[in-house]
């Protein structure tokens, strides 16, 4: 049985808190742009942008698909699907808030950082994640964390958002077949 770690209301509260921390640290939202890692990160970035803008000025939101930047392309049996990146604004000298749902090994974030730098040279990049589940394999840390959770390395952490899945919540379950994991 999957263990419920966050429900809809908790996700909402976490995003509001992250937004407050972003505002506190960056003083102005003028230079902010948000980039979500596909697909759940994109949804979370859009929500975060709405909270940050607070009905006033809108904040640019982009999305990246890190498939072409993965460090394990040689190891995967089948060519992974490429979903495409959409960053339709200038990121030079901006403060980029990189948004993802789960921070795990850090490899996805590494790939995302490399890709973002191919789009320009931002003033800084800060990382916001809904859940930090530990087990880092690269020296990467998040600036804003919705919730830290304790997991086994083989556990599955599933995040559902209404926009993509029709339901909302964060769940942890035991991996049925530990050797079949190919996520990063």
Contact (Cβ atoms closer than 8 angstroms) between residue 81 and residue 93: no
| C-alpha distances in Å from residue 71, one per residue of 12, 30, 74, 157 | 33, 34, 8, 21
Determine if 1 is a binding residue for another protein (CB under 8 A).
Answer: no
Classify 113 as helix, strand or coil. Answer: helix
Contact with another protein (CB under 8 A) among 23, 39, 50, 83: 83
DSSP summary character for residue 86:
B
User: What ranges in the chain are assigned the alpha helix state H?
Assistant: 8-26, 40-53, 107-119, 162-165
Please identify which residue in 74, 139, 150, 166 interacts with another protein, judged by CB under 8 A: 74
Give the integer Cα–Cα distance in Å for 84 and 167. 25
Work out whether 120 is an interface residue with another protein (CB under 8 A). yes
Mark the segment that binds another protein (CB under 8 A) among 36-44, 84-92, 153-161, 167-175: 84-92
Per-residue tokens: 12: 């909402």
**Which of 128, 140, 31, 45 has the alpha carbon at shortest distance from 85?**
45
Q: Which stretch binds another protein (CB under 8 A): 6-14, 48-56, 116-124, 136-144?
A: 116-124
Q: State the minimum distance, in angstroms, from the CB of residue 70 to another protein.
A: 8
180 binds another protein (CB under 8 A): no
**Contact string 11-50 vs another protein (x = CB under 8 A):** ----------------------------------------
Of the candidate spans 21-29, 118-126, 133-141, 148-156, the one that interacts with another protein by CB under 8 A turns out to be: 118-126
Structure token pair of residue 134? 């530990």
| Residues lying near another protein in the complex (CB under 8 A) | 65, 67-69, 73-86, 114-115, 118-120
């Amino acid at each position: 049985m999957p263990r419920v770690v966050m429900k809809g209301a908790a996700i909402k509260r976490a995003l509001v808190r992250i937004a407050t921390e972003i505002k506190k640290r960056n003083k102005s939202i003028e230079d902010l742009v948000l980039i979500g890692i596909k697909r759940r990160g994109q949804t979370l970035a859009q929500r975060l942008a709405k909270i940050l803008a607070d009905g006033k000025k809108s904040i640019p939101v982009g999305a990246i698909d890190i498939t072409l930047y993965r460090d394990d392309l040689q190891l995967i049996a089948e060519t992974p699907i490429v979903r495409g990146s959409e960053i339709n604004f200038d990121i030079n000298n901006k403060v980029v808030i990189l948004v993802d749902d789960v921070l795990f090994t850090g490899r996805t974030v590494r790939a995302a950082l490399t890709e973002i730098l191919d789009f320009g040279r931002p003033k800084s990049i800060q990382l916001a994640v809904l859940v930090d589940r530990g087990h880092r394999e690269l020296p990467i840390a998040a600036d804003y964390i919705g919730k830290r959770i304790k997991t086994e390395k083989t556990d599955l952490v599933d995040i559902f958002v209404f926009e993509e899945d029709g339901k909302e919540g964060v769940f942890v379950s035991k991996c049925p077949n530990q050797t079949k994991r190919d996520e990063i």
